[in-house]
């Protein structure tokens, strides 16, 4: 089954393969993603609901903490105010603040005004400063509540255990202020001690706010959730349902709302989302309890809408993908038809596909390739024709080398017997030269063999002309085994004899030395007439043109070093040694001409 399906898939066109692959690569991951998304939605909904509960509770925590902090700030102000503390110490010790009653009244009134001003801005707070001698100072009327009654509170004895700026937080208790009892049945307080330099307590600071101020924050910031303030033992300190204040919270809810914790717990038939955060000043905690269905309702609805949107978007973009793939692959289909036509032998067909993308460049390159193929077919045909003509000429020119050498030796011997030693010498040199050039089947020879060929060539040239040319060789011993093309120096030496020296006597010096890396510097110099700047420029230009490969070198018809054969030498050496080969010409009128060549090591040259 799988094998048949695979065979059918492989037999499809590239367009169908791309379409099937794209659909599979989009459909399968998307289907898996949607299924996984649907399966994980509940978990994501729960995480989001927990996160929302924590964020909401964080706002409440900031406001409640701000309320409690304002209470501590009032206590701190009184505790560190030097003027007020000095006054309280004197009064507690029973001393006279002033000899004049009016001045004592003004001083006491000033203290009361400061206490009153502490709560002018912000939430209403009840401030009490109770000295150990029974004297008290408040920002409320003592007819509303007698501060001396604080000593009968069950928690008052705990204040003697405080040290320095330690605070004692009084859990929610029934309101003691007669004006507040009707509307605010509960209150929350914080207490500090006033101590002498020796640590003895001389007074107490009690700051009280109504519990209603706390649960008002719950209603303002979190709607539809049950928020409460509990102490370390789990007793409810503040709740919008006043009947629950003072009750113990269910243990499972209490544990689920651990500090900075959030959980979904089941109580009976109902699941609740519980979030908890600590109050930084004491061991109290804020708890948010909400039915899970209610907490997740909006988020779950959002997830469902997102899921539906993703499903619709998937089908829309799937259709768009199919349409785009068909449009993108249309040039490939056309290119396939053109390729089939070329396979059948039609080299005149062209795709005509153009564009800036890969397919457009492929169409352009394919058409250019067909043009190049047609051009190469023409060139191959012409090359084969030239090759056949060259082979025919070679067959016509073939002569048995041994027959030629034997005839030349017979002529040389006959000339010697006749007393013509110059002719015999000339024939002997020619025989050696022909033997070295005709009998060798290798294109490359060693440099020392090339020197032997040049020596024979100069001997033959000396027999032709009236005055002899002296050949001076200065070759480094390690350069003798360098592989070079046969007769690459012959055109240079010939130019030196005919054009440089003008077929008169003179000296031709060949110098070769090795350099680092195996390269060799070789020069051929004569002491002939030399060239002027114009002639030297034309010669260098002919060599440079041949080096660029743009045209064949042309022999110049001018006096001096005419350049006959130098472009051909340049071409041969470049074919063997590549761009590493260099040739330069130096010449001055009356001082001769020097051809300098740099021949790279064999490993620097490309294979030919």
- The domain containing residue 500 runs over which residues? 443-604
pTM: 0.47
Confidence band of 128 (pLDDT split at 50, 70, 90): very high
The answer to whether the CB of 179 falls within 8 A of the CB of 144 is: yes
Can you tell me the mean pLDDT for 306-319?
78
pLDDT reported for residue 446:
87
The last residue of one of the domains, among 397, 427, 454, is: 397
Q: Report if residue 392 sits inside a domain.
A: yes
Range with lowest mean pLDDT among 31-35, 370-374, 460-464: 31-35
Instruction: Tell me the pLDDT tens digit for each residue of 219-231.
Output: 775 666 788 888 8
* Size of the chain, expressed as the number of residues it contains: 608
- The stretches of 81-190 forming alpha helices (DSSP H) are 82-93, 101-117
Range with lowest mean pLDDT among 109-123, 485-499, 579-593: 109-123
Q: Three-state SS for 363?
A: helix
The last residue of one of the domains, among 296, 314, 332, is: 314
110: left (phi over 0), alpha (psi -120 to 50) or beta: alpha
Asked if 361 and 228 sit in the same domain, the reply is no
Instruction: Tell me the pLDDT tens digit for each residue of 560-605.
Output: 334 447 888 888 888 888 888 899 999 989 889 999 999 998 654 4
Can you tell me the mean pLDDT for 342-350?
81
Q: Report if residue 429 sits inside a domain.
A: no
DSSP 20: H
DSSP letter string, 572-603: HHHHHHGGG-EEEEEEETTTEEEEEEEE--GG
Asked if 295 and 370 sit in the same domain, the reply is no
Instruction: Tell me the pLDDT tens digit for each residue of 376-430.
Output: 888 888 888 877 776 655 544 444 555 566 667 777 777 777 777 767 777 777 7
pLDDT at residue 7 greater than cutoff 70: no
d(CA 72, CA 443): 107
Can you tell me the mean pLDDT for 530-552?
74
Asked if 530 and 578 sit in the same domain, the reply is yes
Mean pLDDT over each residue of the chain, to the nearest integer:
79
Confidence band of 512 (pLDDT split at 50, 70, 90): very high
Asked if 377 and 447 sit in the same domain, the reply is no
**Whole-number percent of the chain with pLDDT over 70:** 79
Place of tokens 């002018």: 120
pLDDT reported for residue 299:
60
CATH number of the domain enclosing 475: 3.30.565.10
Q: Report if residue 319 sits inside a domain.
A: no
d(CA 575, CA 295): 86
Confidence band of 318 (pLDDT split at 50, 70, 90): confident
- Sequence-distant (6+) residues with CB within 8 A of 140 are 126, 127, 177
Backbone angles phi, psi at 193, to 5 degrees: -110, 150
The residues with which 273 forms a beta bridge, in sequence order, are: 264, 290
Q: Report if residue 336 sits inside a domain.
A: no
Closest to 225 (Cα-Cα) out of 90, 361, 396, 52: 52
pLDDT at residue 435 greater than cutoff 80: no
How many domains, in total, are found in the chain? 3
Asked if 466 and 383 sit in the same domain, the reply is no
DSSP letter string, 266-328: EETTEEEEEEEEE-TTSS-EEEEEEEHHHHHHHHHHHHHHHHHHHHHHHHHHHHHHHHHHHHH
Q: Which of 3-17, 320-334, 444-458 has the highest mean pLDDT?
A: 444-458
The answer to whether the CB of 290 falls within 8 A of the CB of 272 is: yes
Asked if 467 and 572 sit in the same domain, the reply is yes
pLDDT at residue 254 greater than cutoff 70: no
Confidence band of 44 (pLDDT split at 50, 70, 90): low
Asked if 380 and 277 sit in the same domain, the reply is no
355: left (phi over 0), alpha (psi -120 to 50) or beta: left
d(CA 161, CA 224): 42
Asked if 300 and 388 sit in the same domain, the reply is no
CATH number of the domain enclosing 151: 3.30.450.20
The last residue of one of the domains, among 269, 286, 314, is: 314
Q: Report if residue 430 sits inside a domain.
A: no
The answer to whether the CB of 561 falls within 8 A of the CB of 500 is: yes
Asked if 390 and 463 sit in the same domain, the reply is no
Confidence band of 607 (pLDDT split at 50, 70, 90): very low
pLDDT at residue 283 greater than cutoff 70: yes
Q: Report if residue 130 sits inside a domain.
A: yes
Q: Report if residue 183 sits inside a domain.
A: yes
Asked if 374 and 498 sit in the same domain, the reply is no
pLDDT reported for residue 604:
44
Q: Three-state SS for 540?
A: helix
Can you tell me the mean pLDDT for 163-167?
85
Asked if 260 and 390 sit in the same domain, the reply is no
Closest to 477 (Cα-Cα) out of 512, 509, 518: 512
Asked if 23 and 114 sit in the same domain, the reply is yes
pLDDT reported for residue 456:
84
Instruction: Tell me the pLDDT tens digit for each residue of 324-340.
Output: 777 777 777 777 788 88
d(CA 412, CA 418): 10
Can you tell me the mean pLDDT for 310-323?
79
Q: Report if residue 409 sits inside a domain.
A: no
Place of tokens 């039915």: 291
**Whole-number percent of the chain with pLDDT over 90:** 12
């Amino acid at each position: 089954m799988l094998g048949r399906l695979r065979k059918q898939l492989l037999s499809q066109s590239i367009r169908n393969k791309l379409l099937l692959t794209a659909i599979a690569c989009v459909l399968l991951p998307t289907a898996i993603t949607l299924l996984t998304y649907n399966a994980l939605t509940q978990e994501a909904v729960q995480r989001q609901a927990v996160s929302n509960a924590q964020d909401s509770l964080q706002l409440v925590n900031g406001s409640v903490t701000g309320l409690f902090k304002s209470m501590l700030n009032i206590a701190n102000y009184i505790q560190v105010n030097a003027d007020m503390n000095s006054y309280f110490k004197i009064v507690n010790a029973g001393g006279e603040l002033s000899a004049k009653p009016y001045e004592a009244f003004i001083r006491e009134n000033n203290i009361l005004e400061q206490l009153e001003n502490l709560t002018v801005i912000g939430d209403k707070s009840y401030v009490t400063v109770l000295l150990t001698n029974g004297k008290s100072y408040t920002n409320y009327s003592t007819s509303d509540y007698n501060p001396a009654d604080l000593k009968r509170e069950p928690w008052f004895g705990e204040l003697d255990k405080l040290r320095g700026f330690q605070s004692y937080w009084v859990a929610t208790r029934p309101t003691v202020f007669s004006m507040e009892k009707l509307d605010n049945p509960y209150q929350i307080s914080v207490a500090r001690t006033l101590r002498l330099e020796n640590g003895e307590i001389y007074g107490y600071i009690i700051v009280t706010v109504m519990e209603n101020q706390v649960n008002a924050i719950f209603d303002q910031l979190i709607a539809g959730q049950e928020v409460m303030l509990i102490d370390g033992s789990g007793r409810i300190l503040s709740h919008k349902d006043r009947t629950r204040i003072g009750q113990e919270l269910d243990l499972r809810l209490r544990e689920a709302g651990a500090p900075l914790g959030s959980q979904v717990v089941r109580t009976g038939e109902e699941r609740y989302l519980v979030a908890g955060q600590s109050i930084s000043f004491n061991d109290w905690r804020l708890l948010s309890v909400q039915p899970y269905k209610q907490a997740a309702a909006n988020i779950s609805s959002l997830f469902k809408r997102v899921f539906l949107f993703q499903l619709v978007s998937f089908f829309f973009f799937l259709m768009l993908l199919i349409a785009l793939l068909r449009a993108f692959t249309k040039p490939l289909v056309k290119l396939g038809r053109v390729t089939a036509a070329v396979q059948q032998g039609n080299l005149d067909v062209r795709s005509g596909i153009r564009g800036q993308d890969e397919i457009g460049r492929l169409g352009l390159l394919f058409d250019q390739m067909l043009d190049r193929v047609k051009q190469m077919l023409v060139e191959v045909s012409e090359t084969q024709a030239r090759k056949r003509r060259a082979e025919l000429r070679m067959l016509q020119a073939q002569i048995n080398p041994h027959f030629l050498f034997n005839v030349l030796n017979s002529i040389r011997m006959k000339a010697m017997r006749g007393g013509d030693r110059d002719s015999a010498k000339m024939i002997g040199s020619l025989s050696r030269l022909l033997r070295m050039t005709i009998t060798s089947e290798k294109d490359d020879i060693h440099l020392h063999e090339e020197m032997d060929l040049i020596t024979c060539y100069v001997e033959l040239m000396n027999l032709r002309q009236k005055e002899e040319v002296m050949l001076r060789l200065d070759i480094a011993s390690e350069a003798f085994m360098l592989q070079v093309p046969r007769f690459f120096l012959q055109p240079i030496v010939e130019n030196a004899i005919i054009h440089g020296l003008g077929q008169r006597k003179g000296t031709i010096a060949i110098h070769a030395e090795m350099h680092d890396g195996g390269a060799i510097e070789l020069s051929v110099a004569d002491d002939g007439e030399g060239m002027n700047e114009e002639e030297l420029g034309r010669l260098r230009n002919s060599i440079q043109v041949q080096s660029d490969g743009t045209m064949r070198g042309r022999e110049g018809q001018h006096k001096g070093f005419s350049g006959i054969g130098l472009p051909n030498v340049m071409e041969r050496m470049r074919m063997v040694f590549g761009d590493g080969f260099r040739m330069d010409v130096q010449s001055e009128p009356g001082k001769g001409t020097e051809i300098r060549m740099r021949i790279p090591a064999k490993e620097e040259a490309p294979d030919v």
